[in-house]
Amino acid sequence: MALTNDQPSAKKILCENCDSEDAAQNRCNECGMFLCHFCTESHKRTRSTKHHELVSVEELKSNPDPQNIAEKIRCRKHKQKVIKLFCKTCQTTICRDCAIVDHRQHEYGFVEEVAVEEKRHLQSNLNEIKQRKGRVVEAIVNLKKFNVSLEAKKTSTVSEISRHFDQLVKAVESRKREMIEKATSITNSKQKQIHAQLEVLEVALASCESSIKFTEQAFKNGNDVQILSMEKYILQSLEQVKAVKDQTKPCVTEDMVFIIPSSAQEKKKELLIDYYVDDAVANPESCTASFKETEATFNAGKQYSITLICHDKNNRRLRYGGLDIKPSFTGMEVSDVAFTDNKDGSYTISFSLRQGGMLKFEVSINGTPAPNCSLTKQVKWVISDAHGRGAITNGGRTMNGDGGGYCCSVGGCYFDSGVHTWGVRLRHNGNSSYSCSVEVGIIDYDEINADIAQSEKKCVHKHSVKTGFADNISLTLDMEKRTLNVKISSDCYGYSTKNYQFTARRVSPFFACCSPYLSINLVK
């Protein structure tokens, strides 16, 4: 029962203890009844009720707390008994007689005590619904912004289409309309889905607000018994609202692009079909890359190429170019990097290898790394014919002297860090009894030029090879210590070791000989 000072004066509260229909003056908190003046005096004199707490009607009006003014709810089975207990086993309110007769072995407690925990449970569920409401409200705001962005994207795409087609002759006007209609169709289709999503979220919002309002009204106007009596229905409603999974992110993308295969001046009427409005944009995670060359290992000093193919998020290959492609090479230095946009969704990156080691290639597309485009390749170096003099054969693994005197060459790589090892086999194939001189070692990479024979910035070991003999030399380069260790295994001179020191920042292998009968073979 609600009791406030703004109730109409004509609606007075009558005594509930007698049939006099006199106005109530007090209320017994124990009995839960309003009493007239006569019944009040009787209540005070009767032995069983004289200790009950009486509160005046005016005092109740000045403090209209539902807990203070709520009527005592009596048991339906035991009419005179006030409900004071809650059976946890049966999940229902009971009186003391019910506890003794029908709920003797059940778990129960006083309404005031049980209501605290149960209301806490209800409040927890209510808080979750409020949180969901917040997410739904935020999603609605974001979707509306997204819809505006989607419309802006359509506007910019249509504008691009219009600017391009304005340069074409009247014969392409029909195609222009088709493009605009396609762009609008894509947008309308997506907006239709967004509108449907918004309608679902609006319904979800209304459901949340309804559940929240109903539960909060129960807390505000109901007492513990009433709340507990309705708890399973309230909780069932809240659980149903909680169980719904909201799709709070846009169900479509705003992506859209107008594909222009070439300039208007170059385009002919029969090729107009190549124009298309598409919502396919490059998805770096779907793009792929591969080496054009199929060798298991590459050779330093040669040029190679990589083909990059771009796809959208549905793995459809793009039919247009113009993307921002940024290749990256690590593990070694490369040179002569060239980039070609093939205008069909593919790109070619060509490059030259400067040294041996492990090459790693990575690329970003429109500023985003493309993980499936990472490539690695082992690179071996060979003797280069780019500088010096002498015949290079066997795929760059053999250098031969000639009859013109001093011949020299360098390895097709350079080293600026780490420890590196390579070996050569020296052979004298002539019939002269004279030995021939050979030089193996390193040269300052920054000093390599057309006349490397005259360079003084070399660190070499000079070795003589006798006719009919073959000697093996192993070289170990330590760039941190700036040392070159040379190990000689000679059929004629036996085994020996030499150590050399140098200061160059980066170096390349160096080879030289002065006889047409000598060959230097790179063996590892």
pLDDT at 4: 47
> Both tokens of residue 487?
């190990």
E strand spans, 51-144? 54-56, 85-87, 92-94, 108-110
E strand spans, 303-381? 303-309, 325-330, 334-341, 346-353, 357-365, 368-369, 375-380
Tell me the DSSP string of 407-458. Answer: EEEEES--BSSSEEEEEEEEEE--S-SS-EEEEEEEEEGGG-STTGGG-S-E
d(CA 407, CA 126): 90
d(CA 84, CA 97): 10
The dihedral sign for the CA sequence 129, 130, 131, 133:
positive
Residue whose C-alpha is closest to residue 398's, from 517, 510, 299, 521: 521
d(CA 422, CA 441): 10
Residue the block writes with tokens 């030029």: 449
3-state SS class at 306: strand
Q: Name the DSSP letter for residue 195.
A: H
The bridge status of strand 276-278 relative to strand 257-259 is: antiparallel
- Mean pLDDT, contiguous 10-residue spans, the chain (524 residues): 46 84 87 87 87 86 61 75 84 86 86 84 92 94 93 90 76 78 92 92 90 88 84 85 86 87 64 69 93 88 92 89 91 87 92 83 95 91 81 84 79 83 86 76 83 81 82 92 91 84 90 84 84
- Which residues contact residue 441 at a Cβ distance below 8 angstroms, ignoring those fewer than 6 apart? 458, 459, 460, 461, 475, 484, 486, 500, 509, 510
Position 48, amino acid: S
Q: What is the pTM of this model?
A: 0.43
Q: Name the DSSP letter for residue 467.
A: T
Q: Contact 57/36 with Cβ under 8 angstroms?
A: no
d(CA 281, CA 316): 9
pLDDT at 273: 64
Q: Contact 309/291 with Cβ under 8 angstroms?
A: no
Position 164, amino acid: H
**510: Cα separation from own chain's centroid:** 50
Q: Contact 151/136 with Cβ under 8 angstroms?
A: no
